[in-house]
Structure 1
Amino acid sequence: MTDFDDLRALFINCTLKRSPEPSHTQGLIDASAAIMAKNGVRVSQIRAIDHEIATGVQPDMSAHGWAVDDWPELQRQVMDAHILVLAGPIWLGDNSSVMKRVVERLYGNSGLLNDRGQYAYYGRVGGCLLTGNEDGVKHCAMNILYSLQHLGYTVPPQADAGWIGESGPGPSYLDPGSGGPGNDFTNRNTTFMTWNLMHLARLLAESDGIPARGNQRTEWDAGCRFDFENPEYR
């Protein structure tokens, strides 16, 4: 049986609701987090809207005109985690404004490098969870997962899961009679996503992340081209 005791996971809930207001997205997060915790993963959670996260794409926006910016402390939690799951609601068929802000702030640190000269998010895995009562799960997941891999995260197979009710006004995930928590399709996808995240994080941890050959920014800047041949110089 695989040992996940040394892995850490962070779930960022991008609901529009401040604590302690109930979050339907939280319900789906809890299902995934419970599987991880049961297998020894140390799980942390952030409800982003409870924090003062400034708008921008710099590591610390307090140096760019904002009086308060909680993101630098939240970023430390991001960097401590082997697994990052971004979760949120669907509004107007798209990700929430909070989700977009979190992705922008993650992007603000994507140019940082690790001690091997790779981009700092290398060696970490990412996935996403979505809830709503309108269409858009796949559209929102594509946006999130593309963003994560572009920043340097590794995305495993079936790295997303979600639940939507009937299109239009209707019950949300945790509402009585919604059928959300008992939906077999959602529960299967949530379970597969969770295990695939754990398996890939385990593999990356055991291999010390992504091999450095061919992807070191420091080496490229120093003139190394890793077998790339530019036709202009032939």
Structure 2
Amino acid sequence: MTTLKALVLGCSLKKSPAPSSAELLGREVLAALADHDVDGEVVRVVDHDVRFGVSTDEGDGDAWPRIREKVLAAQILVIATPIWMGQPSSVCKLVLERLDAELSETDDQGRPSMYGKVATVAVVGNEDGAHHVTAEVLQALNDVGFSIPAAGGTYWVGEAMGSLDYQDAGPKPDTTGKATTALAANAAHLARLLAENPYSGG
């Protein structure tokens, strides 16, 4: 079985080494993907000087081109984001804005650059909004060419208006674990199918 690559973009507002619940859930997705012969890594976006913009390279030391190389090398992208005020984090939105540039990019066969890649999302928070965030992020990723697997999102939310983080929640609920397992199985399955039978064009 061919080993696939996955990239988790952690969209926490906190730089390393501060703990991040979003990154934790992203790493749990990677662990589940490993059961399907998928290798991967996590990049916490705020650890890098990613500039605002909608091009592949904003110049002046922009770190996005190096992250973009990792996106291009992976078959599966996982966006791991916290919920803030019912929305994806500002870092997540920055990533989506940078990926918007892919609408104008093609591969060596003239296909949009993100065709053939699978996108999923992992969301954490202690407020309502997980379904909204999942929908918003997956729609944006699909717009730029990513394919979305069945059950392509996993999430955990604590008590409304509470302060408990996923990383501090103790034993994790079976619901989140089952969603993560399904996400990994379906993402790996779809990525393998697309690798063997790529889209023909835009």
Q: TM-score range by the shorter chain?
A: over 0.9
Match of 1:72, as an amino acid? P
- 1:59-106 Cα deviation digits (max 9, x unpaired): 1111xxxx3200011100000000001011000000100000011111
Identity among equivalent pairs (%): 38
- 1:142-165 Cα deviation digits (max 9, x unpaired): 111001110001101110010000
2:85 alignment partner in structure 1: 92
By how many angstroms is 1:22 displaced? 0.5
By how many angstroms is 1:173 displaced? 0.3
By how many angstroms is 1:44 displaced? 1.5
Residue 71 of structure 2: SS of its match in structure 1? helix
Q: Is 1:77 the equivalent of 2:67?
A: no
By how many angstroms is 1:45 displaced? 1.2
By how many angstroms is 1:41 displaced? 1.3
- 1:189-228 Cα deviation digits (max 9, x unpaired): 1110111100000101111x1123xx3xxxxxxxxxxxxx
Residue 166 of structure 1: SS of its match in structure 2? coil
By how many angstroms is 1:170 displaced? 2.4
Residue 190 of structure 1: SS of its match in structure 2? helix
* Mapping for residues 1-234 of structure 1, pairs under 5 Å: 3=1, 5-62=2-59, 67-175=60-168, 178-179=169-170, 181-207=171-197, 209-212=198-201, 215=202
Match of 1:140, as an amino acid? V
By how many angstroms is 1:110 displaced? 2.6
For structure 1, list consecutive stretches of 5 or more residues without a partner in the other structure.
216-234
By how many angstroms is 1:38 displaced? 3.5
Instruction: For 1:145 and 1:38, locate their aligned partners in 2 and report how far apart those are by CA, in whole Å.
Output: 23
For structure 2, list consecutive stretches of 5 or more residues without a partner in the other structure.
none
Instruction: Choose 1 or 2 for highest CA Rg.
Output: 1
> Quick one: higher RCO (CA 8 Å, sep 6+), 1 or 2?
2
By how many angstroms is 1:35 displaced? 1.7
Instruction: For 1:9 and 1:46, locate their aligned partners in 2 and report how far apart those are by CA, in whole Å.
Output: 11
- Structure 1's consecutive aligned runs of 4 or more residues displaced over 4 angstroms after TM superposition are none
RMSD between aligned residues: 1.2
By how many angstroms is 1:183 displaced? 0.5
Residue 124 of structure 2: SS of its match in structure 1? strand
- 1:122-148 Cα deviation digits (max 9, x unpaired): 011000000000000000001110011
- 1:9-66 Cα deviation digits (max 9, x unpaired): 000000011000000112211211112223321211100000000000011111xxxx
